Amino acid sequence: MSTPSAATKDQVVKRWIVFFIGMFLMGTGIALSIKATIGVSPMSSITNLFYLIFPNISLGTFSFLLNFLFFVAEFIVAPKTWHPVKILTQLVPTFICSVFIDVNMWLCNAVVPTSYVSKLLVLVAGCIVFGLSLALMVSADATLQPSEAFISVVAERTGRAWGNVRTATDITLVVLATIGSLIVFHGVTTVREGTIIAAVLIGQSSRWFAPLTDRLFRSQEELTPVSQN
């Protein structure tokens, strides 16, 4: 029989394993959304734009750089929240996630939808996988990604709701990506109808999966129905 400390250690390990599975699936969702070519999620819009401008640099690299900026911004907004351990708990997982994104971009090389319907199906599949990844990572509750940590400290400092700050952040990224696309490509590239679909479907699918992923971390007693006498 496991001791309490051993059980706690096992639970921590399990949370990190599930968290990294979620990160890998996030890379899958991002890759599929990009392959659809009809717009990506707000958070991916700016990184995908830079990837189109500088195709010799990997998408994962740009994703890491964006999150590094969020990491720095987090402590500019709230300097007292800084602790060296956050390099390990935030930047290291972010680096691994960037590798997962590049791996998935390679794995999805053969996904080249041609008709609009097939592009839409690929986008929807990517959004659902992305939603599952978020549900797994939230349920694991192992750490926060830099973007989420930044949003959290801004919400705390300003007294705004977390969801409102997230929306404002998404809108800012979309606007920047749109302006950059118009300047460089003289047209809209990464921000299209798929961006709106992704913004809605990722969040909704994450909520659909949440009850299932939460069950991974419930104790056996919580899962066992109480007998009625």
Which of 126, 137, 159 has its CA nearest to residue 19?
Answer: 137
- pLDDT digits 0-9 by tens, 23-63: 999 999 999 999 999 999 998 999 999 999 999 999 999 99
Angle between helices 59-77 and 92-107 (to 10 degrees): 160
Contacts of 210 (CB under 8 A, 6+ apart): 135, 138, 139
- pLDDT digits 0-9 by tens, 58-95: 999 999 999 999 999 999 998 988 888 988 889 999 99
Q: Locate tokens 């069950």: which residue? A: 215
Q: Given this model, what pLDDT does residue 5 score?
A: 56
Q: Locate tokens 């992305």: which residue? A: 130
| Residue 194 near residue 188, CB atoms below 8 Å | no
Kindly state the percentage of the chain with pLDDT values over 90: 74
- pLDDT digits 0-9 by tens, 187-224: 988 899 999 999 899 989 999 999 999 998 875 435 44
Single-letter code of the amino acid located at 218: R
* Whole-model pTM over 0.85: yes
Residue 143 three-state SS = coil
Single-letter code of the amino acid located at 217: F
6 phi, psi to nearest 5 deg: -65, -40
